[in-house]
Structure 1
Amino acid sequence: MAEVEIERPRSGVALLRLNRPEARNALNTAVRTLLAEHMRALAADETVRAIVVTGDDKAFAAGADLREMAEAMPVDLLLRQTHVVWAAIADCPKPIVAAVNGYALGGGCELAMHADIIVAGEGARFGQPEIRVGIMPGAGGTQRLLRAVGKFKAMKMLLTGEPVKAREAEAMGLVSEVVPDTQVLERALALAETIAAMPPLAVRQIKEVMRLGADAPLDAALALERKAFQLLFASRDQKEGMAAFLDKRKPAYEGR
């Protein structure tokens, strides 16, 4: 069995499932490499319009694999070029939904934060416990967490290493929604299927503008939004969507 399995459960939707249950889906080099390879392939696949990433009912991913890190030296980490692997996920133009049951700790929490929407089970736990083993997050855990929940909540999580429960994560803005544990994957797939039925160019532009505009000055971000808005009027999908609305029929989007 592959350490990352790929499925096509719904029209336009790809599912990536972490498959290291014996290690609570810890993100070793093989898992990160497979995730990156799948993300690059799915980004280029025109039949895929949304991606769901999940683990199992006990763990989304319980962090990095410390067996690969305990004796590593700085040059070892430099040569591993893990930022290139993570970039394949961060730069994916397709919407990503994380379906989180159980633990999302360390690299697992960072992986969830690479998604665009996070659906969490009521029993899920999110945390960045790296400080407890003498290090700190290294795949966006400080910066993405800060931007998601603000300085004071992020500092508490990062400096204590204490995880937060799903409902608290939702209240602080780290989670999109919380559902019963047994409904997590189904809800994530339903959201992905809904997104997959939307006009792909509009979906792509929304994700791109939000990602690039988040850290830009407001005037620059608004200008980026206006240009993307105007560009969509050159698409066949815009003409189809508005015509279908006026004709009171279901639109047929092509991504053109």
Structure 2
Amino acid sequence: MTVADGVRTEVIGAVGVCRIDQPDTRNALSPALLAAVIDGLEELDGDPTVRCIVLAGTDDVFATGADARSLAASTPEADANQGQADFWSRLSAVGAPVVAGVSGWALGTGCELALACDLVVASKTTRFGQPEVTLGLIPGGGATQRLTRALGKQRAMELILTGRRMGAEQAHGYGLVNVVADRKRWFEATMSLAVQIAERAPVATRLAKRAILAADRENLDEGLATERALLSEAMATEDHAEG
């Protein structure tokens, strides 16, 4: 197990686990904590034994927005110097499927972090939200784009312009959450889904992830071409040859 700056990483079987656990800040995603999270995810992604990654918080909080001190000191130049500017692009470059295990609060950047994962398991106690407008700000980690693509303009407008909270069941109904679990079983349910993915051919799951994510940035013809190219890669692998 590796522990650094409020983040713990370990490998359980073929699943890499990255846990955010900084109780003194309630997992507020300061630049330092974001850096520790992405370093942990990239470390696990580079481990050849890891076929799927779980990103989780604690029972009470997955993650929340930047702490007050970070916001007060924040400038575009400071953000770039502190490594925030490339966090989201580095996250999107993680090749292994990433399952978010969410319980308790997932607000602001914490909500955006969950949305940026490939699948989401949430406990019944989870509350998602983008409260930035209540602070005179707007989301800056992708919520305006990901929520609009996932939910459509009207629902994205409602959630972001009001800043209201959304429960796990509602998020599941909207298609933002894959599995809703009891509060005492959310991590077990997250690991169960991750193990299912880890049992599949590892090259195929990574290529399938790339093909699906291409739909966010490519038109249909381009996406179909990407799918065919990645299928050709999959057919040339040892996994396919062995059946």
Match of 2:183 in 1: 181
The whole-number CA distance in structure 1 between the counterparts of 2:175 and 2:124 is 15
Query: Where do 1:1-256 residues align within 5 Å?
Result: 2=4, 3-8=6-11, 10-241=12-243
Structure 2: tracts of 5 or more residues without a match: none
Contact 2:79 2:85 in 1 (8 A): no
Q: Which is higher, the Rg of structure 1 or of structure 2? A: 1
Q: Offset of 1:78 from its aligned partner?
A: 4.2
- TM-score of the pair, normalised by structure 2: 0.94
- TM-score of the pair, normalised by structure 1: 0.89
The whole-number CA distance in structure 2 between the counterparts of 1:105 and 1:160 is 13
RMSD of aligned residue pairs (Cα, Å)? 1.4
Q: Which moved more, 1:213-222 or 1:159-168?
A: 213-222
Q: Deviations over 1:208-236 (max 9, x none)?
A: 11112333111111121122222211111
Q: Deviations over 1:9-28 (max 9, x none)?
A: x3111111111122221111
> Identity across aligned pairs (percent)?
39
Q: Offset of 1:31 from its aligned partner?
A: 1.0
Instruction: Quickly say closer, same or farther: Cα 1:205–1:73, change in 2 above 3 A.
Output: closer
Paired residues, what number? 240
Match of 1:249 in 2: none
The whole-number CA distance in structure 1 between the counterparts of 2:216 and 2:76 is 31
Instruction: Quickly say closer, same or farther: Cα 1:231–1:182, change in 2 above 3 A.
Output: same
Structure 1: tracts of 5 or more residues without a match: 242-256
Q: Offset of 1:196 from its aligned partner?
A: 1.0
Q: Offset of 1:70 from its aligned partner?
A: 2.0
